[in-house]
Amino acid sequence: MAKSQATFMKKQLEKNKQKKKEDKQQRKQERQQNSTGGDLDNMLAYVNEFGELTDTPPDKK
């Protein structure tokens, strides 16, 4: 006797779920490896006397 179509579909759905999970894990690892870091110095922005955003701190006068 042949296996039912429902059993085949269950296996296919489970296989698709597993593939999606592996792809998601792989993308997560790639993001972590290509990350430039998240330290505070990279995230700070300063406003100069002209009201423009810069990444260098203002001079203390």
**pLDDT by residue (tens digit) across 16-48?**
999 999 999 999 999 999 887 777 777 889 998
- Every domain of the chain and the residues it spans: 7-32
Enter the pTM of the model.
0.53
3-class secondary structure per residue, 4-58: CHHHHHHHHHHHHHHHHHHHHHHHHHHHHHCCCCCCHHHHCCEECCCCCEECCCC
